[in-house]
Amino acid sequence: MGHTIGGIMIDRAPTRGLATVLALGLTLSSTELRAAPANDTVLDKVSKLAQEGQTRFETADFAAAIQLWTQAYAELPDDPKYGKRRNVLAYQIAKACIEAYTLDPKQRVYLRKAERLFDDYLATIDTKDQTTRTKVEGTLTELREQIRLAEEREAAVEAAAREEASAAAATAAQADNRQRDDTAAQEAAVRRKAAERAAERDAKRSRRLMITGGAILGGGAVLLGVMGYGLSRGAQVDRDGAQLKTDGVTDPQPYIDLREQGFSANQLAVTTAAIGGTLLVVGLGLLVGGATGLKRARRDLAVAPSWHPGGAGLTFVGRF
């Protein structure tokens, strides 16, 4: 009874002690395979291991069959007269490897091991036995085709896994980029708000400076106006004194009064000139400084840093 595995016909017929005719034409007598001299404990052990392996093979425990037959193979003495027994075991191990692969197709090593065993078995067949050689060569050809197909399937699975991993990595990278862009945009928005608040504070401070400077400038102008009055009053006192002399007034009291009035007018003019001039300079400085700060604050409000996917930039903000 036979069994086809991936196009390879494998003999599944039970063999008692591996002493029956094998599918590839190897014939051994039961005495030749099992029987051994009473004192030949090695062959007894080989026969027992071989029979146990056959039992495991027939119950589909192919990994155990491979192990038992491999142990039996290793127990055979290194003597040419045991060549047939060694060939039988190697053939059985190769069959078990192919069967084991059908249960676990991921273990392609089973096919490789079967190929190696069949290849070694082919080398032991007499060149005159073309029938057996042809069968073994055909089995090897089918086995190598099975290996090729298995390698192609495995390569396809690996390629698909790589593509899936690459796609997953690309998706993860895109998610990371989006997260990074979102974080950067949020940070840029926070910085922009902070810059806007700072610019607003600067603008308010600049406006206060301009208001203060304008008030001080106005106060200075008023004092300069008082200074003009003092100068005008002093000039009037001089004219009144000259008129008294023209009129021939000899009484000293009018002259004393005019001198006091002139002194007061001059003192008023000098004092208001000093204070008014100082206020004028200070007020003008505050006015210019406030105007400059307000212009800078408006510029900072109009051009704010921003972030967008792919890079940073400036945002122009208009106020109407």
The domain ranges of the chain are: 2-151, 181-316
**Confidence bin at 304 (pLDDT 50/70/90):** low
Long-range Cβ contact pairs of 268-271 (< 8 A, separation 24 or more): 268/226, 268/227, 268/229, 268/230, 268/233, 269/227, 269/228, 269/229, 269/230, 269/231, 269/234, 270/227, 270/230
pLDDT (0 to 100) of residue 253: 86
pLDDT (0 to 100) of residue 23: 31
Q: Measured between alpha carbons, how far is 264 from 257 in angstroms, rounded to an integer?
A: 11
pLDDT (0 to 100) of residue 34: 45
pLDDT (0 to 100) of residue 97: 95
Q: Is pLDDT above 70 for 56?
A: yes
| Range with the poorest average pLDDT among 65-79, 86-100, 268-282 | 268-282
Give the rounded percent of residues in the chain with a pLDDT score beyond 90: 30
Stated pTM of the model: 0.47
Q: Measured between alpha carbons, how far is 50 from 124 in angstroms, rounded to an integer?
A: 21
Please name the residues in contact with 15: beta carbons below 8 A apart, sequence gap of 6 or more. 22, 54, 92
Q: Is pLDDT above 50 for 234?
A: yes
